Amino acid sequence: MPLFVLGPQCLIFDMPARGETSLSGSAQIEQALHRLNTLGSVLMIAAHPDDENTALLAYYARGRSMRTGYLSLTRGEGGQNLIGPEQGDVLGVIRTQELLAARRIDGAEQFFTRAIDFGYTKSADETLAKWGREKVLSDIVWVIRKFRPDIVILRFSGTPRDGHGQHQSSAILGQEAFFAAADPARFPEQFRYVKPWQAHRLLFNVFSFSAQQEKEAREMPNRIEVDTGEFNPVLGKSYMEIAGISRSLHRSQGMGAPERRGPSKNYLVTVAGPVAEHEAFDGIDATWARVRGGDSIGKILSEAVRTFRSEQPEKTIPLLLKARPMIAAAIDDPWARVKLAELDEVLALLSGLWLDATTERYAALRGSVVTIHMEAINRSEFPITWSGSLVFQNENAGFQIGAGVMRDPLELAYNEPHQDKSAWKVPQNQLYSKPYWLRKPHTADIYEVDQPEWIGLADTPPLLTARFELNFNGTSVTLDRPVHYRYVDPTGGELTRGLVIVPAVAVNLPEGVVLFPSEAPKKIEVELKANAANEAGELHLDLPQGWHVEPASQPFHLGDEGSEQALTFSVTPPRAQSEAHLRAIATTKDGDISSGLTVVAFPHIPTQVLFPDAAAKVERTDVKLTARRVAYVMGAGDQVPEALRQLGSDVTLLSAHDLAERDLSSFDAIVTGVRAYNVRPDLRANQQRLLDYVHGGGTLIVQYNVAEGGPFGGHRSGELAHIGPFPLEIGRDRVTVEDSPVRFIQPDHALLSYPNHITEHDFDNWVQERGLYFASKWDPQYQPVLEANDPGEKGLEGGMLYARYGKGVYIFSAYSWFRELPAGVPGAYRIFANMLSARGQR
């Protein structure tokens, strides 16, 4: 009876042998057999989710059977979310999952560095200084040394041609990493796990932002062409069609893309290594010949490819079993390691072997016992026995749970389900299941990762992995499966989600920022939710001296699992301006808990559970507001309404019906949310009613909208044609440096003096940027109020325009209120309060 222990591969997560895929049946098997017989690899490097050339990834992964990877330096945290209010860390989690979903379509693998997308910047120097050049370089080198690509493809040139400073940086660092990965003197601490690696060739896949750049690309010397319009009859699609499906999964970026047919030219230019004259793999032997003794392995696998019959897939198994010991004999070669794991997964495909490991619930508490059900079904006539199983924990380099050995090997008869069971007592010190890159506090620019061997991984390894020990007619084969929760959603059908460890009581602070615009006390509500029955304890708020909380603590008792209770505290701020951090702490029999629970659920990605700290920023700063009743037209999603409530206004969200029918005259001000004119046809349809409201004495504040034909594409022309009462054109100008100076064009302008006197200090401590999509042209009836610019550029006056119209006021403001208000920037509150109070300014 085999008592097996964990192999060394658990120490360092080798790349997955079983990437999940959108394919099944004989198309999947044919792809897998070709892949097994191809030993070439290509790694694409760029800065963001959506920078990748998806068609080229699909071409190499699905068309050429190469091992293909995309290394995105960041997770896209700084972008604009088109499907909800999530920003920053949570947006990074959503985009990570969108990229993984896209890779399941195009067949490539996904990697990231620790770098954070801190927002748009025009400069590579700013980017590299913020990230820490050596840190991000070391991460790229690490991924190259682990992945060992033959070809590295850059998406950008490393020059201002690339636009975004993070694009430029991805090419500057990618080029440096190409050489540094091969240099034994660089990052020697990595050699505990990997060896130096010299990729054969570095290519630039020309990214063209304009027709002019497109023309330049066609004229570049030494370029080779790849036609991703080629049709793949096994898949029934061209690589461009696959790319359209894959790319459309970038939903948070509004990246819906066409599935193009017909030819599609891509250009690749050699940057380093021998010049490619015909194709990217010129001079690279992507066959088994590159492994010692590989010729005979390649012959057997070629025969497997040639003789595979989709109606009798198990007939191909003996050929694979013949090649297997030969590959195992060459296991010192990293290629053999990769291919052995791949081969074992192909055996499962050929036998229709179903292996699954599930738990009874998706969440578990510290100290509880999790039962793991393993199931195996052989859906072929090929003789397979199940000889053992075990479950291990991926934290701490693979901690084995129980011996998990079966007494008698089970013969897996055709289509007969067989089960095994294991149990795990969750340790009292088990971490809550945070994504690995969010476990430690981080700056706005780079993550801190505790386990260096996890750097580069797209996602956190599953908490538990089940290992199945099988025997294919005399040959031992080991296959791993993540332990997950499998369930049926009435509208979504059968789904899975990862097993997570949750706090017994989730402590949620609904507001991330609490503003005290005066000395008056404010109520702060804390929401408790039970993840187990009969949880009880005491809740208190932790605040520094000078802040006063009533009561000092409150008892709570939650009944059934899932029950909720809200407890309210009264907080009195200090008299003077002050900023502090508040923490809510529940003391229970199992210790102190100060974590909330947020579920991120979208139909296009697996459900994610996050555990934000039960902490908030409290801000005492004087802000006067004369507007009480404020209406908000939500656009693509932002957190501005909560911020306006913090100011003390009563905020109403306007529905399509409200816009069309409701009497608007009772509102002191109406505010349109970010990109509201881009995404709300009902807003555009009722623009005249809004302008009439202004004419009659109201105040309308329009936040930024994306210029038509902007990077998100697809906007119908004319969308923004009537955005103001007088002609106004929105351009692409941005001010990206968050501390760049802002000048007052008319220092005594009403907007800068009533009811709050605005000074340059109100532009202190802004985050990420000043503003975006400034107006580029406007009628003289608008008065520009502020001027700002990035270093070395000309001043831009189109960020804040003020116009009187009839008895009211219209304000266009493309400053980044949607970032500054939720971040608790005091000056942003004061300026926004003045805009809302414009009605009282005359």
Q: Which residues bind Zn ion (CB under 5 A)?
A: 48, 51
Distance between CA atoms of 665 and 662, rounded to whole angstroms? 9
Quote the least distance from Cβ 75 to Zn ion, whole Å.
Answer: 12
Peptide bond into 2 cis (omega under 30): no
- Contact between residue 495 and residue 483 where contact means Cβ atoms under 8 Å apart: no
Number of residues assigned to the chain: 842
SS3 779: coil
Round to whole Å and give the CA distance between 81 and 91.
Answer: 7
Element (H, E) at 513: strand 513-516
Residues 6+ apart with CB under 8 A from 565: 527, 528, 556, 557, 558
Between 30 and 117, name the residue whose CB sits nearer to Zn ion.
117
Nearest to 168 by CA among 124, 205, 201, 138: 124
CB nearer Zn ion, residue 40 or residue 165: 165
Output 156 or 704, the one with its CB closest to Zn ion.
Answer: 156
* Residue 48 CB, nearest approach to Zn ion (Å): 3
Identity of residue 60: Y
Nearer to Zn ion, 51 or 150 (CB): 51
CB closer to Zn ion, 50 vs 787: 50
Q: Tell me the two tokens of residue 676.
A: 């509201």
**Minimum distance of Zn ion from residue 167's CB (angstroms):** 6
- Give min distance, CB of 816 to Zn ion, in A: 19
Pairing between strand 151-154 and 109-112? unpaired
Comparison of 35 and 48: residue with beta carbon closer to Zn ion: 48
Give one DSSP letter per residue of 416-466, joined into a string.
--EEEEEEEEPPTTPPP---GGGSS---SSB---S-GGGTTBSSPPPSEEE
Q: What's the closest the beta carbon of residue 219 comes to Zn ion, in angstroms?
A: 24
Q: Which is nearer to Zn ion, 706 or 786 (CB)?
A: 706
Give the nearest distance from C-beta 210 to Zn ion in angstroms: 15
Closer to Zn ion by CB, 48 or 439: give it.
Answer: 48
773 close to 707: Cβ distance less than 8 angstroms: yes
Please give the Cα distance from 753 to 747 (Å, whole number). 8
CB closer to Zn ion, 43 vs 752: 43
With respect to Zn ion, which residue has the nearer C-beta, 51 or 241? Answer: 51
CB of 179 to Zn ion, least distance (A): 24
Minimum Å distance from CB 482 to Zn ion? Answer: 31
How many helices (H) and strands (E) the chain has is answered by 18, 45
Min. distance of Cβ 47 from Zn ion in angstroms? 5
3-state helix, strand, coil in the chain (%, to 5): 25, 30, 45
Smallest gap from Cβ 630 to Zn ion, in A, equals 35
Which is nearer to Zn ion, 257 or 479 (by Cβ)?
257
Strands 554-558 and 578-588: unpaired
Q: How far is the CB of 166 from Zn ion (least distance, A)?
A: 7
For the stretch 803-821, what's the b/e string if a residue is b when 16 or more beta carbons lie within 10 angstroms of its beta carbon?
bebeebbbbbbbbbbbbbb
Q: What is the 3-state secondary structure (H, E, C) of 719-737?
A: CCCCCCCCCEEECCCEECC
